[in-house]
């Protein structure tokens, strides 16, 4: 029995034989003329198009269509033509093809997050072109019995080539929460784990137990283990299905359940998932793909649509959280050695001190014309001075509920000073965890360090929560930690009064909280905080809270 851990990106429990998808890598030189390279690219584009029209999952179809468009992009053809200038057969074109993709690759990688994970889609086009020239056919995957799909990584073409009706779960060694694997699994409603290092060496047909909620895959697990995990999952789902309405503990203590969104569609999805409001509206998406700053009128239009979709409810809008690994095209930035620690979030003010004022102005204009309860907050605040600066600028424009993200260790430790400047705080546990643990949140190899269950992170949260309580400032959580039902209960036990998460997680968190009371949450929090490791913390809390 071997256990592999990764990031659970789609919940559920599955048990079945492993079906491995491996790719053949062309290791010999590939001679070709420019004309043959262009013909190969076109053939790849046609193949991707054919797979797109056969794909049953909409997001998978969209990715395949986008890939076929990239394969036909004139800029790519130009980049290849700039390398292969002679009308002759070159002895080996593999590096020329890969280099031609390098510009696109770097542009996507520098955007970080979702965009960075699309780099694999680009690499796949280059690989397919080389395969085509070398006459290599990736073995068509004959998946004919229900199986657990295991791979180093899954590309859109891989998943398009297999009959996903037989896929019980997807487990890959690479990838992140927004990778193709995660998107496909959620679309199919099957469990999935990404960043599961080592799993790709498990031989075909080995029986594998997959728990997509916990992010663990176990070979040759006992039937008791399989049944236990399946029963826990079933209980969670059943509990979720039976509870509706605003978030409450079993003793009636309210816990406001909000949703995270980045565009109007996300806000609409949140409303239909029963969110009591939006706890984090990420505004940067409106800026990142723009060559020029959106005008105040354009911004007013966007924020008005968001507020209209949440009329009468709370909407917490975060001012632009970009810079460094998410460069804003219209702000000149310098190269940084440590972008996560660089000029990002509120620190963008050091480059352009008026961008946030225009954003706040647009927010104030949209807020006045709407019935939504508009709160605004600033990201990456590290000092009380920054919090004061933000509060002064927001209040000057008539915005009343002004807060800060507590996502740097400095803000958590100094919360007595930082929160004194504002009306509320919101714990960004994704960043707080990466900074407390000094572990890059995007690096799958460090997933054991980037869990908010770590007592070091919980102690930082406890510090901030105690300061917030003393100042009578509401403190919420808007990082991924809020979406883990047991961890959500621990956070409530630490003193958090609202939880904001992606809409699909709401039902289970609501269902779980409804069966625990405040005293139990406090006991679970105390046990987790005093544990010696993230595993002990989770175990101790789960023992008190139940599954």
Catalytic residue selected from 401, 454, 467, 478: 478
Residue with smaller CB distance to ligand PEP, 12 or 503: 503
Give the nearest distance from C-beta 478 to Mg ion in angstroms: 8
Structure-block tokens of residue 270: 């949140």
Q: Which of residues 379-438 bind Mg ion (CB under 5 A)?
A: 407, 428, 431
Interaction of residue 479 with ligand PEP, rule CB under 6 A: yes
Interaction of residue 282 with ligand PEP, rule CB under 6 A: yes
Among the listed ranges 14-22, 61-69, 92-100, 424-432, the one in contact with ligand PEP (CB under 6 A) is 424-432
Find which of Mg ion, ligand PEP, none residue 200 binds, CB within 5 to 8 Å per kind.
Answer: none
Q: Is residue 12 exposed (0-12), middle (13-18) or buried (19+ Cβ within 10 Å)? A: buried
> What number of other Cβ atoms are within 10 A of residue 462's Cβ?
20
Q: Which residues contact 210 (CB under 8 A, 6 or more apart)?
A: 12, 13, 14, 15, 148, 168, 169, 171, 191, 193, 216, 217
Interaction of residue 266 with ligand PEP, rule CB under 6 A: no
Q: Which of residues 386-415 bind ligand PEP (CB under 6 A)?
A: 407
Q: Which residues contact 392 (CB under 8 A, 6 or more apart)?
A: none
Structure-block tokens of residue 464: 């901030």
Q: Respond yes or no: is residue 478 known to be catalytic.
A: yes
Q: Respond yes or no: is residue 180 known to be catalytic.
A: yes
Residue with smaller CB distance to ligand PEP, 128 or 326: 326
Residue with smaller CB distance to ligand PEP, 218 or 411: 411
Among the listed ranges 195-203, 295-303, 353-361, 429-437, the one in contact with ligand PEP (CB under 6 A) is 429-437
Find which of ligand PEP, Mg ion, none residue 30 binds, CB within 5 to 8 Å per kind.
Answer: none
End-to-end CA distance of the chain: give it in Å, rounded. 23
Q: Which residues contact 249 (CB under 8 A, 6 or more apart)?
A: 255, 492, 513, 514, 516, 517, 518, 521
67 vs 125: CA distance, rounded Å: 7
Near ligand PEP by CB under 6 A: residue from 158, 321, 484, 508: 321
Residue with smaller CB distance to ligand PEP, 71 or 267: 267
Interaction of residue 478 with ligand PEP, rule CB under 6 A: yes
Interaction of residue 117 with ligand PEP, rule CB under 6 A: no
Residue 151: which of 184, 189, 108, 129 has the closest Cα?
Answer: 184
Q: How many residues bind Mg ion (CB under 5 A)?
A: 3
Catalytic residue selected from 15, 132, 180, 401: 180
Find which of ligand PEP, Mg ion, none residue 478 binds, CB within 5 to 8 Å per kind.
Answer: ligand PEP
Structure-block tokens of residue 63: 């990715």
Interaction of residue 431 with ligand PEP, rule CB under 6 A: yes
Near ligand PEP by CB under 6 A: residue from 243, 280, 391, 404: 280
Helix, strand or coil, per DSSP, at residue 183: helix
Q: Which residues contact 338 (CB under 8 A, 6 or more apart)?
A: none
Scanning 397-517, the segments in alpha helix (DSSP H) are: 409-413, 415-418, 429-437, 455-471, 485-494, 506-513
Counting every residue written for the chain, the total comes to 547
Q: Which residues contact Mg ion by CB under 5 A?
A: 407, 428, 431
Q: Which residues contact ligand PEP by CB under 6 A?
A: 280, 282, 321, 407, 428-431, 478-479
């Amino acid at each position: 029995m071997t256990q592999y851990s990764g990031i659970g990106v789609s919940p559920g429990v599955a048990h079945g034989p492993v079906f491995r998808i491996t790719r053949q890598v062309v290791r010999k030189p590939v001679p070709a003329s420019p004309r043959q390279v262009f013909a190969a690219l076109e053939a790849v584009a046609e193949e991707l198009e054919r797979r797109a029209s056969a794909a049953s999952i909409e997001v998978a179809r969209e990715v395949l269509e986008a890939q076929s468009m990239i394969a036909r992009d004139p800029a790519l053809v130009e980049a290849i033509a700039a390398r292969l200038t002679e009308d002759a057969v070159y002895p080996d074109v593999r590096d020329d093809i890969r280099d031609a993709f390098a510009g696109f690759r770097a542009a996507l990688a520098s955007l970080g997050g979702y965009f960075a994970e699309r780099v694999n889609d680009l690499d796949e086009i280059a690989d397919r072109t080389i395969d085509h020239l070398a006459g290599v056919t990736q073995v068509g995957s004959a998946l004919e019995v229900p199986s657990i799909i295991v791979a180093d990584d899954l590309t859109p073409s891989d998943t398009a080539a297999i009959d996903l009706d037989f896929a019980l779960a997807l487990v890959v060694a690479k990838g992140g929460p927004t990778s193709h694997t995660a998107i496909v699994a959620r679309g199919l409603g099957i469990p999935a784990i990404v960043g599961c290092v080592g799993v790709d060496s498990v031989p075909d047909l080995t029986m594998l137990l997959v728990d997509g909620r916990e992010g663990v895959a176990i070979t040759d697990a006992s039937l008791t283990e399989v049944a236990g995990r399946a029963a826990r999952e079933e209980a969670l789902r059943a509990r979720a299905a039976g509870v509706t309405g605003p978030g409450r503990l079993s003793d009636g203590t309210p816990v406001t359940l909000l949703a995270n969104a980045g565009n109007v569609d996300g806000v609409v999805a949140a409303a239909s998932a029963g969110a009591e409001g939006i706890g984090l509206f990420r505004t940067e998406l409106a800026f990142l793909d723009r060559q020029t700053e959106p005008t105040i009128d354009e911004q007013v239009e966007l924020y008005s649509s968001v507020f209209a979709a949440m009329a009468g409810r709370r909407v917490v809008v975060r001012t632009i959280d970009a810079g460094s690994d998410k460069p804003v095209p219209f702000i000149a930035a310098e190269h940084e050695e440590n972008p996560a620690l660089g000029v990002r979030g509120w620190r963008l003010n050091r480059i352009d001190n008026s961008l946030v004022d225009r954003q706040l102005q647009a927010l104030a204009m949209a807020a006045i014309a709407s019935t939504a309860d508009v709160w605004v907050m600033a990201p990456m605040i590290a000092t009380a001075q920054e919090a004061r600066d933000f509060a002064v600028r927001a209040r000057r424009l008539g915005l009343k509920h002004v807060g800060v993200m507590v996502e740097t260790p400095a803000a958590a430790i100094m919360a007595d000073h930082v929160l004194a400047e504002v009306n509320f705080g919101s714990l960004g546990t994704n960043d707080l965890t990466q900074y407390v643990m000094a572990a890059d949140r995007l690096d799958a190899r460090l997933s054991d360090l980037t869990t908010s269950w770590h007592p070091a992170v919980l102690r930082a949260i406890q510090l901030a929560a105690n300061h917030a309580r003393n100042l009578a400032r509401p403190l919420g959580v808007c990082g991924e930690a809020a979406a883990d039902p047991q961890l959500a209960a621990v956070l409530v036990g630490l003193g958090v009064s609202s939880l904001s998460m992606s809409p699909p997680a709401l039902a289970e968190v609501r269902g779980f909280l409804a069966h625990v009371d405040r005293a139990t949450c406090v006991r679970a929090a105390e046990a987790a905080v005093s544990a010696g490791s993230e595993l002990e913390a989770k175990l101790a809390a789960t023992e008190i809270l139940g599954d």
